Structure 1
Amino acid sequence: MDSAARPILFVSLPESGLLNPLLVLAGELARRGVPDLWFATDEHRRAEVEALSDASPVSFASLGEVISELSAVTWGDDVYREVTQSSRFKAHRAVIRQSYKPALQARKYRALERIVDEVRPALLVVDCVAGFAVDLALTRNIPYVLNVPFVASNVLTSHNPFGPSYTPKNFPVPNSGLPLAMSGRQKLANTLFKWRTLGMFMNPGMGRVLREDAAIRKELGITPPNAMTRVDRAAAVLCASVAELDYPFDVPDKVHLVGAVLPPLPEAPDDDEVSSWLDGQSSVVYMGFGTITRLTREEVGALVEVARRMADTHQFLWKLPKEQQHLLPAAGELPANLRVESWVPSQLDVLAHPNVSAFFSHGGGNAYHEGVYFGVPQVVRPLWVDCFDQAVRGQDLGVSLTLDRPHTVDPDDVVDKLTRVTTDPSFRARAERLGALQQAAGGRKTAADLVLDRLTTA
């Protein structure tokens, strides 16, 4: 078979932060006319995948309906409160307990197994959180490219004191939100984070889960991995970042830092309404907190108050999901400088607009890199896991500020942070410099070239 006609199968969990970069990458290959492109994810994302077809089609392969226990968007409010609590370690532990469900992961593994038997891919391109896809690639000996939408250290740093790691011994543990330059107390917290993670797996309840996992792996013939197997065995690792947006360490050769993986812009050229409104403003603060954040009535009211207090200096564009808009005050009570949308056709087009002065976000991997890519200063209210890591890096790099108490919304604090990042020109200057480095890294084009290179050598 001609190497240019060997199937590439993309595999991703359905969460937007993981899925979107792979949709962009698959779309780039489709525009280039690369044949035999397949994309496996949960059923409700079918239309987005099928819309990627261009010079060549992208075939959708269903992994079935969403399994609510595995999808953060559908977790109950009690779980949401656990995984977003103020204790970094307890939140980290809650995420592991909630998402480490061997029997449910096995359902996705079996669904992907059927797809692989049909497609017979020469190469998988896998989101780094889709462990079932890495397991299948290893068990079937299928070459795979791992896609990382976070800073590279997120997947290269061990969570326990004895695990293999590509970063130095005292490097901040992922999900800890700790800086590189730590106080003595922070160094102790960093060490304890690793030991407590190790200890978590010695708990009797977790022991039962480990035994269940071992039994399922034996039944399915899955190769048991270690903590760094997904990186070590990958044909390549694509990271949507650059070295300058992380703390310094020696990045292994197989990890390719390509910068933010974004589609061609404008992404929504027919969006006259929002773009025309942006054209007519002198300064806009864009507020978007991702698809997982669930604001309370008090937090929504506090954000409305922030817009009211800054009416003399900024307009506000707020992407607030429709299901949370009932928490807003009555329409007549909203300040005139606040525009609320349940969805914007393209967050990227908004961030690229020259009149956007600041981005107020949850600090997720995509948000962090997209804001910097377009040279926009940021204020961050980190939500959970990796958000705290990106927030502390952005603050140390001088491109963002983090709320003092991110588990509340204090209007005084938010107004202070937004005022500082929009009036001190150094924030924009540093963001623009780092954004230029991301743009030079090549993004989707470099990522597509690397995938095709791995295909020809598979």
Structure 2
Amino acid sequence: MDSTRQPILFVSYAESGLLNPLLVLAAELSRRGVEDLWFAADEKARSEIEATTVKTPVEFASLGDVVSEMSAVTWDDETYQAVTQRSPFKAHRAVIEHSFAPETRVEKYRRLEAIVDEVKPALMVIESMCQFGYEVAITKKIPFVLGVPFVPSNVLTSHVPFAKSYTPRGFPVPHSGLSANMNLSQRLTNELFRLRTLGIFMSAKMREVVKEDNRIREELGIAPEARQMMARIDHAEAVLCYSVPELDYPFPLPEKLRLVGAMVPPLPQAPDDDGLSDWLSEQKSVVYMGFGTITRLTSEHIGSLVEVARRLSDHHQVLWKLPEEQQKMLPPRETLPDNLRIEKWVPSQLDVLAHPNVKVFFTHAGGNGYHEGLYFGKPLVVRPLWVDCDDQAIRGQDFGVSLSVDHPETVDADDVYDKLTRVLEDDAFRERAEHFGELLRAAGGRSAAADVILGLPALATH
């Protein structure tokens, strides 16, 4: 083994919301000519990872097939309904009960362990939701960086009472959808959220799962310190968060937290877009509707959104990214309004958001979409989907860049049309979004993130 090698190993699940920022970062390091880049992920992500090579190779290391419990796009309809229900705590509980399945990470841990033994990384860059990733790094004492696609408090605030937290007491608990500006009732709800989360693990069923988790940890030889509530933060060399301080409620930021803004690749990302950019250039005002890869709209939802597009037809075009399987629920093509353009996929959502004729982004407010929309100065209308989406949605309202629909479970056409019209016609939303766009761009994005990586002691030249 060449003692001068300094391999960097990225680790992520294949879910696009988790994977994409690390793809941008890996490509940036490749663009700079950094050698010995590796990326471990599920087999599903092979082609995307291999495509990140710019100058120096990014080598793919397979973690095998997707684990259903950790891939929301594979969940059955019953699970989807449970994790996206409008009670924040019940949805939070459903996510924990479904995804806390210790046996499912055994193969991932062993595969990654074998990859690490072969690659011998000097540094690992691990997506924040990838538990087995930081467990391997901590156990094998490999320096690592954590990548976070949410607002920073999401990973710095404890979900349970009496545990270490980097945010002050009374700070909104992640997934609660609560504002920092709480009344007495909301403060009580916030405290109960923590207690009820602890209570989830006190049930007989979950105690058995915890017992199984302990057995598996011992079997795999996972270091005890990897189990600490804030292990992924405490043991990281740096925490890369794709946001800025001003997009979260204020709290003292730990020194290792590096807020680098949205991870945006060089644009245009997809120059050959089958004429989509030309179409955008021909319009005066476009509402872009894109709800991520997880959202499952019903025929009633789709009918309501078609009606919203119809009501906007006097002044605005609507571009709607709607998956092919959901397009089967559309009304007959001949009945659709002329101002509505539907695509099963857009070659680059970033290219769409960057276009000056796109005036508002109707989104589910996932971590990436929320920050990317604001990066390009686009105000938002939000139909929050689940967990972190509710947290980003309330911050968007508090910071004056978005409005949230009142009934996301039904998608009321009157309400959606009202919110879109208000955001389109009130310049204050655009001005605030442009303000945060300036902050996000100034944070440095992929360039700043790469500088952090390359400046760490683990990669110092000896």
TM over 0.5: yes
Residue of 446, 455, 459 corresponding to 1:456: 459
Q: Which residue of 2 aligns with 1:55?
A: 55
Give distance in 2, aligned partners of 1:12 and 1:272.
Answer: 31
Deviation string for 1:389-429 (max 9, x for gaps)?
A: 00000000000000112222000000000001110001010
Q: 4+ runs of 1 displaced by more than 6 Å?
A: 1-4
Residues 1:177 and 2:180 aligned together: no
1:33 alignment partner in structure 2: 33
- 1:354–1:3 CA distance, 2 compared to 1 (3 A): farther
Q: Indicate the residue corresponding to 1:268 in structure 2.
A: 270
Match of 1:345 among 347, 354, 361: 347
Q: Residue 138 of structure 1 contacts residue 223 of structure 1 at CA under 8 Å; is this kept in 2? A: yes
CA shift, 1:134, in A, is: 0.5
Distance 1:320 1:5 in 2: 45
Where in structure 2 are there 5+ consecutive unaligned residues?
none
Match of 1:424 among 423, 426, 433: 426
Encode CA deviations 1:186-231: one digit per residue, 9 max, x unaligned: 1111011000001111111000000000001011110232111110
Residues 317-346 of structure 1: CA distance to partner in whole angstroms, max 9, x if unpaired?
Answer: 000011111011111111100000000010
Cα distance in structure 2, aligned partners of 1:408 and 1:252: 40
Distance in 1 between residues matched to 2:426 and 2:169, nearest whole Å: 36
Q: How does 1:105-254 map to 2 (within 5 A)?
A: 105-224=105-224, 225-254=227-256
Determine whether 1:16 maps to 2:19: no
Deviation at 1:69, TM superposition (A): 2.2
1:281–1:315 contact (8 Å) kept in structure 2:
yes
> Is residue 2:316 matched to residue 1:311?
no
Deviation, 1:56, is: 0.2
Secondary structure in structure 2 of the residue aligned to 1:271 = coil
Q: Structure 1: which amino acid aligns with 2:435? A: R
Q: Which of 280, 285, 299 is equivalent to 2:287?
A: 285
SS at match of 1:350: helix
Aligned match for 1:354, one of 353, 356, 372: 356
The code of the aligned residue for 2:113 comes to: E
Measured in 2, the distance between the counterparts of 1:405 and 1:178 equals 17
Please state how far the C-alpha of 1:3 moved relative to its aligned partner. Answer: 8.5
Tell me the residue number matched to 1:78.
78
Residues 43 and 66, structure 1, Cα contact 8 Å, conserved in 2: yes
Q: Is the 8 A contact 2:242 2:263 kept in 1?
A: yes
Q: CA deviation at 1:307?
A: 0.1
Q: For residue 48 of structure 2, what is the amino acid of its counterpart?
A: E
Q: Distance in 2 between matches of 1:7 and 1:288?
A: 37
Corresponding residue of 1:320: 322
* Counterpart AA for 1:337: N
**TM-score, with normalisation over the residues of structure 1?**
0.98
8 A contact 2:401–2:433 mirrored in 1: yes
Q: How much is the aligned-residue C-alpha RMSD, in angstroms?
A: 1.2
**SS of the counterpart of 2:229?**
coil
The residue identity in structure 2 corresponding to 1:387 is C
The 1-side partners of 2:279 and 2:2 are apart by: 50
What residue is the counterpart of 2:403 in the other structure?
A: 401
Q: 1: distance between equivalents of 2:132 and 2:460?
A: 24
* Per-residue CA distance 1:88-113 (angstroms, 9 max, x = gap): 10100110111111010111111111
The size of the alignment, in residue pairs, is 458
Aligned partner of 1:434 in structure 2 is 436
Q: State the alpha-carbon separation in 2 of the partners of residues 354 and 14 from structure 1.
A: 31
Task: Provide the rounded CA distance (Å) in 1 between the counterparts of 2:272 and 2:302.
Answer: 30
Deviation at 1:457, TM superposition (A): 4.2
Cα distance, 1:2 vs structure 2: 8.1
Tell me the equivalent position of 1:294.
296
1:5 CA drift (Å) = 3.7
In structure 1, distance between residues paired with 2:82 and 2:9: 35
Q: CA 1:380 to 1:284, structure 2 compared with 1: closer, same or farther past 3 Å?
A: same
Question: Conserved in 1, the CA contact under 8 Å of 2:300 and 2:410?
Answer: no
2:98 maps to a residue whose letter is Q
SS at match of 1:47: helix
Correspondence for 2:417 among 407, 415, 418: 415
For 1:382 and 1:312, the matched residues in 2 are separated by 27
SS in 2 for 1:275: helix
Q: Which residues of structure 1 form unaligned runs of 5+?
A: none
> Residue 4 of structure 1 contacts residue 35 of structure 1 at CA under 8 Å; is this kept in 2?
no
Q: Tell me if structure 1 keeps the 8 A contact 2:123–2:459.
A: no
Give the partner amino acid of 2:177: G
Alpha-carbon distance, 1:50 to partner: 0.5
d(CA) in 1 for partners of 2:221 and 2:337? 60
The secondary structure found in structure 2 opposite 1:266 is: coil
Following the alignment from structure 2 to structure 1, what is the Cα–Cα distance between the partners of residues 176 and 205? 24
Once structures 1 and 2 are overlaid, which stretch shifts more, 222-231 or 316-325? 222-231
- The CA distance in 1 between the partners of 2:357 and 2:4, in whole Å, is 44
Shift, 1:453, TM fit: 1.3
* Residue 378 of structure 1: how far off its partner (Å): 0.3
Distance in structure 1 (CA, Å) of the matches to 2:229 and 2:414: 43
Of 372, 375, 388, 1:373 maps to 375
- Mapped partners of 1:298, 1:419: distance in 2: 21
Aligned with residue 332 of structure 2, among 318, 330, 333: 330
Identity of aligned residues (%): 64
The AA in structure 2 aligned to 1:234 is A
TM-score scaled by length of structure 2: 0.98
Distance 1:217 1:264 in 2: 41
Letter in 1 for 2:40: A
Task: Provide the residue aligned with 2:92 in structure 1.
Answer: 92
Aligned-partner Cα distance in 2 for 1:334–1:268: 28
